[in-house]
Amino acid sequence: MSAVIQSIDQIVSINPATGEEIGRVGVTSPDDVAAAIERSRDIFHRWKTTSFSERRRLVMKARDVILAEKEEIAHLISSESGKPFGEAISMEIAPVLDLMQWIAKNAEKMLRPRRVNIGLYAMMGRSSKIVYHPLGVVGIIPAWNFPFSIPLGEAVMALMAGNTAVIKPSELTPLVGLKIGEIFEKAGFPENAVQIVLGAGETGAALVEAAPDKIMFTGSVATGRKIAAAAARNLTSCVLELGGKDPMIVFDDANLELAAGAAVWGAFCNAGQSCSSVERLYVQQNVAETLTKLIVSKTSELVQGSGDREDVSIGPMSSERQIKIVEDHVNDFRENGATVLTGGKRNADAVVRNEAGARTLFFEPTVITGATNDMRAMQEETFGPTLPITTFKTEEEAIALANDSEFGLTASVWTRDLAKGKRVAEQIEAGSVCINEVLYTHGIGQTPWGGFKNSGQGHTHGREGLMELVQPQHIHTNHLSILPDAWWMPYTPTAVETFRGFATKFASGSLIKTARLMPQLWKRISELRKKKS
Ligand code: NDP
């Protein structure tokens, strides 16, 4: 059974669309967080010895549990986070199911001990291999915006690598967090292999303080900095998946109809609360008017409302704090001369009126033109349904505008000329760059996910993400251990001459040059053997 530790105060989970209470959970005390880490460490010593086939079996069991309960899980995600029910299936459940089957089938192959080509050292009868050890307890601190797929995917990767996990879900989505614990429990994972601790930022801080062996954090740059500083005190290494201000570049040869559809989805899905949302659109000047008209027209077709309705494309924002940031940014655009073409305010029509009172967390999908990079709202992460549009004339200008940001999470380039697309993509400072595609690459679990610049540090997903969860150990063997090494003590003039040869001949990597070192090497080894007695 996966333990759930709760005590002291309570968190009330609220549906952001309706304001209704969904449930309440107890907050885990710092002492109980530390105790959870200890229990996790105890079970780690057993879990790390399980075979890959057993780990695979349990992960595939957990997949079966999710599949059997996918409707219920999607409704829970939708009601706690506000995202449309369909989006909970397409952007949380489907991608994590794919990640689970992939990592279950491939972790063993990726973590198999591997021989390393050590070049000319092999000539001296040496060999090296790398074996991978699990780290221990992985502390997972996710954001509320993808409350299911991100922590669940990270826990599954940690488990497949032989680690155990303690998850601290966001205080806005504690019930989804508990559901994750329940899934591992139902799948038959050993007790305490995955534990859920509950609470707000303080509980996350207690988790960091309790010194897990790795921290996987997803959230804002500000919290990421705090966590990195706190983790440094225990030398705990962190993967930090942080914010974004992701650019979309549309060239005049792009399929504008598709680019407009992608911009609308990229900017407004999850009400713009995705780390890889399109937050800046740069369009080549001569097609700006056409593209903007298409975007406004597609935006006007979107239905906003409670996420449990299947015809709704945009739900509410997650919290009053988040909607205030969006209002602030829209005001910043207006005050600095940009034009709001559609949206720009809370959506009174979408408000759900009930006993819990009117909810005003719906912000209309907002399209803005005349934005420029010197506006504050073009530099800070908005994390809401806004799509500011800027024009450019040349390829160089588009690249410079896209890179003019402290962030570098994802980007997209739209053009029919794939050579140009690749050329531009490789010059964008971002962890993932799509050509004629937008936003969804976090869903490709086989590929590394991580940000450049202030968008983060380290990776989740892919081989690179798996490598974050293990300790590579180098095993080096001397197969000719009948002779002393030439570099051992005592040093002599013969030794120093041999060392010169190492620098000039051996370290050249050339077999021919190294062969010329052999007489000197042998002289030195003979010298050492004579000194033996
Ligand atoms: P926050 O940084 O506010 O919170 C993230 C998590 O950290 C939450 O669980 C939070 O708890 C917890 N937390 C808060 N303070 C502390 C602390 N001092 N020590 C430890 N944990 C703490 O981010 P948001 O929840 O607002 O998430 C939005 C941000 O996440 C955006 O910037 C977005 O871009 C980014 N993000 C990045 C992704 C990526 O892959 N790069 C993916 C998804 C989101 P609580 O919520 O209970 O306060």
Q: Whose CA is nearest to atom 9 of ligand 1?
A: 170
Longest dimension (CA), the chain: 95
Contact by Cβ (8 Å): 248, 438: yes
Q: How far apart are CA 453 and CA 406, in angstroms?
A: 6
Tokens of 350: 């979408």
Q: Whose CA is nearest to atom 19 of ligand 1?
A: 205
Average pLDDT of the residues in 331-358 = 89
Average pLDDT of the residues in 229-237 = 98
Contact by Cβ (8 Å): 210, 33: yes
Q: Whose CA is nearest to atom 16 of ligand 1?
A: 201
CA of residue 126 to ligand 1 center, whole Å: 47
pLDDT digits (tens, 9 = 90+) for 64-83: 999 999 999 999 999 999 99
pLDDT digits (tens, 9 = 90+) for 199-228: 999 999 999 999 999 999 999 999 999 999
CA of residue 122 to ligand 1 center, whole Å: 48
Helix (H, G, I), strand (E, B) or coil at 265: helix
* Contacts (Cβ under 8 Å, ≥6 apart) of 321: none
Q: Whose CA is nearest to atom 30 of ligand 1?
A: 219
Average pLDDT of the residues in 495-517 = 96
Q: What is the pTM of this model?
A: 0.96
Helix (H, G, I), strand (E, B) or coil at 414: strand
Distances (CA, A) of 77 to 156, 181, 363: 19, 14, 20
**343 closest CA partner among 400, 300, 377:** 300
Tokens of 42: 């105890």
Residues within 6 Å of ligand 1 by CB = 141-146, 168, 170-172, 200-201, 204-205, 208, 218-220, 223, 226-227, 241-244, 275, 381, 383, 409, 451, 456
pLDDT at 282 over 80: yes
Question: What pLDDT sits at residue 3?
Answer: 46
CA of residue 245 to ligand 1 center, whole Å: 16
Q: How far apart are CA 466 and CA 133, in angstroms?
A: 11
Catalytically annotated residue among 238, 269, 275, 434: 275
Structure confidence at residue 334 as a pLDDT band (50, 70, 90): very high
**209: annotated active-site residue:** no
Instruction: Give the nearest ligand 1 atom to 171 CA.
Output: 47
Instruction: Give the nearest ligand 1 atom to 143 CA.
Output: 25
Instruction: Kindly report the length of the chain.
Output: 533
**206 closest CA partner among 428, 36, 2:** 36
- State the chain's mean pLDDT as an integer: 96
pLDDT digits (tens, 9 = 90+) for 114-125: 999 999 999 899
Question: What pLDDT sits at residue 533?
Answer: 58
User: Phi and psi for 161 in degrees, rounded to 5?
Assistant: -80, -5
Question: What pLDDT sits at residue 229?
Answer: 98
- Letter string b/e over residues 131-144, b meaning 16 or more CB atoms within 10 A of that residue's CB: ebebbbbbbbbbbb
Helix (H, G, I), strand (E, B) or coil at 27: strand
Instruction: Give the nearest ligand 1 atom to 243 CA.
Output: 34
* Contacts (Cβ under 8 Å, ≥6 apart) of 73: 66, 88, 93, 148, 179
Distances (CA, A) of 56 to 60, 88, 187, 456: 6, 25, 11, 30
Cα-only R_g, the chain: 27
Ligand 1, pocket-test mutation among 37, 99, 170, 319, most atoms within 8 A of CB: 170
Give percent above pLDDT 70 in the chain.
Answer: 98
Query: Within 13 Å of residue 217, how many CA atoms lie on the same side as its CB?
Result: 31
**241: annotated active-site residue:** yes
Helix (H, G, I), strand (E, B) or coil at 40: helix
* Contacts (Cβ under 8 Å, ≥6 apart) of 158: 138, 140, 164, 165, 214, 216, 469
Q: Whose CA is nearest to atom 25 of ligand 1?
A: 143
CA of residue 224 to ligand 1 center, whole Å: 8
Q: Where are the beta strands (DSSP E) in 393-504?
A: 407-408, 410-414, 432-435, 452-453, 456-457, 470-478
Ligand 1, pocket-test mutation among 91, 221, 223, most atoms within 8 A of CB: 223
Instruction: Give the nearest ligand 1 atom to 224 CA.
Output: 2
CA of residue 194 to ligand 1 center, whole Å: 20
Average pLDDT of the residues in 359-368 = 93
pLDDT at 5 over 80: no
pLDDT at 1 over 50: no
* Contacts (Cβ under 8 Å, ≥6 apart) of 494: 523, 524, 527
CA of residue 275 to ligand 1 center, whole Å: 11
Q: How far apart are CA 386 and CA 376, in angstroms?
A: 14
CA of residue 236 to ligand 1 center, whole Å: 18
Structure confidence at residue 360 as a pLDDT band (50, 70, 90): confident
Q: How far apart are CA 433 and CA 439, in angstroms?
A: 9
Instruction: Give the nearest ligand 1 atom to 442 CA.
Output: 40
Question: What pLDDT sits at residue 532?
Answer: 66
Average pLDDT of the residues in 192-204 = 98
